[in-house]
Copies of this chain bind each other. A is one copy, B any other.
């Protein structure tokens, strides 16, 4: 089952500069081969449900491996059966209606 996910990963117990951890998360995602896109407040990713969820599990494991004692992820997952959809379609569809 194909899923489009948007997630924000929050390392806890490590101070307040989170960018080193978010950069590492991006490197993990790069290695998965899945389609993903960083934005200001999170990351979009899409692919097979199990592969996406395994990628996010690997992000948790990687941060714990860097010494982060607690990791909190917020995730939205969308699936649909009426037609195939990709992240690029979603934004194009809205932009088109706005005449951009």
Contact = CB atoms under 8 A, between A and B. Distances in A.
Given A13-B16, A77-B75, A82 B70 contact: yes
A53 B73 CA distance: 13
A52 to B, nearest CB: 9
| Contact size range, A | 35 or more
**Number of this chain's copies in the complex:** 4
Q: Is the interface of A mostly helix, strand, loop or mixed?
A: mixed
A23 B78 contact: no
Interface of A: 1, 3-6, 8, 10, 12-13, 15-16, 18-20, 22-23, 26-27, 37-42, 44, 49-50, 53-54, 56-57, 60-61, 64, 69-82, 87-88, 90-91, 93-98
